[in-house]
Homo-oligomer: A and B are copies of this chain.
Amino acid sequence: MGVSKSLGAGITRQDRVMADGRTIRYYDTSGQARNAQDQRPVEEQPGIGELRLDPLVNEWVAMAAHRQGRIFLPPKELCPLCATRADLLTEIPESDYEVVVFDNRSPSLRPPQGDWALPDLVGPETDTGTSAGKCEVICFTADHGQSFKDLSPTRVRILLEAWADRVRELSQEKFIEHIAPFENRGEEIGVTLAHPHGQIYAYSYLPPRVEKMLKAARDYKESTGRVLFDDVVAREIRDDKRVIARNAHWIAFVPYAARYPFEIHVAPLQPVADLASLTSEQSDAFPEVALEVMKRLDGVFGIEMAYIAAWHQAPVRVGRDLLRLHWQITSVRRAPGKLKYLAGSESAMGAFIMDMRPEQSAGQLRDVKL
């Protein structure tokens, strides 16, 4: 038997150990017992990957050499994220589920053995490290054919509770510095499993973009005494023209300097550092805005948009009062038959060129009839 505990909003979590030793966590509202055993043969796990410093920009690159062979867009009959059926043993031993989170079978980052530390940063002489961290998979529903926008408000509420629970628990690990739950959707951006799901990456280092956000926020605090993201949200509220959804606790807007044809930031009006810090009022108010945003996004062209939806949070140990929780949704779809590609300027130089004004995409999102 595994751990069982009560979370917010009447949600319980029950843990089970999978055949190969990984943990699966069931997040449920109806208190059903989750006792099904993983019947699959045990596969050998590859070891932890290398962590190498790119000294030209002082960024860590995780090397996960064993992932080349992973499963690619299997047909529905072979989907490893569906519930287990008589003829199909999946990652989820139960015959049905609400929300589950389990350890990734082919993780890019793995918990280290024993003591662990990042190598000292000394340019090209920096030692090769190990890719410490943790990668988890979160399934939004057992229904293979749904999207985020089709979920019930209750389901989105469970999802939010599961994310917050994972952040709370992963933050206790000594080797974890930053946690990023995200969802990739769409073959256009390389999604290999169509089943509605997301991932949780827990890094043992500050991801480069987080490091840069932290520096900007720290500089801003030093020169103004204020929190940068709070002033960014205040400007969006004042400008109003890029706001696409809001309720008493959340606001969604296309940022003033969006980098993608469709980019939406969703933030709580009362700022918090991370998912684990949300109040129950904020959490209860999230599904309404989240579902509206996702419906607007798919409504623009009447097709399922490829997107990346990532939670930005304050890191686990630093900048807790400098960085704020927000959900960033970006889509490379700029027209029904056209994608924005990151080519020479964006990819090699990091210099983004936007082909459409944020006020235009905000207008298109607002004009969608729900």
Interface residues of A (CB under 8 A from B): 50, 52-65, 67-68, 72, 108, 123-125, 178, 180, 182-184, 189-191, 199, 201, 203, 207-210, 212-213, 216-217, 219-220, 224, 228-229, 231-232, 234-235, 255-259, 308, 310, 312, 328, 330, 334-335, 338-345, 347-357, 360
Contact = CB atoms under 8 A, between A and B. Distances in A.
B255 A54 contact: yes
Given A65-B357, A208-B351, A349-B207, A343 B190 contact: yes
A330 B347 contact: yes
A57 B349 contact: no
A103 to B, nearest CB: 17
A357 B50 CA distance: 9
Nearest to A229: B56
16 contacts: A52-B256, A52-B257, A55-B220, A56-B228, A61-B258, A61-B352, A65-B354, A65-B356, A123-B224, A124-B228, A124-B235, A178-B349, A180-B344, A182-B348, A207-B349, A308-B343
B124 A212 contact: no
Contacts of A234: 124
A341 B190 contact: yes
A250 to B, nearest CB: 18
Nearest to A205: B351
Interface centre among A68, A72, A308, A347 (most CB of B within 10 A): A347
A53 B257 contact: yes
A219 B341 CA distance: 33
A235 B126 CA distance: 11
A348 B232 contact: no
Nearest to A226: B123
Given A355-B67, A356-B68, A345 B54 contact: no
Contacts of A56: 213, 216-217, 228-229, 232
A207 B345 CA distance: 8
A310 B342 CA distance: 13
A199 B344 contact: yes
Contact of A348 (B310, B339, B354, B360): B310
Contacts of A341: 189-190
A328 B349 CA distance: 11
Contacts of A212: 57-58, 350
Contacts of A357: 50, 63, 65
From A108, A235, A349, A352, residue with most partner B Cβ within 10 Å:
A349
A349 B135 CA distance: 14
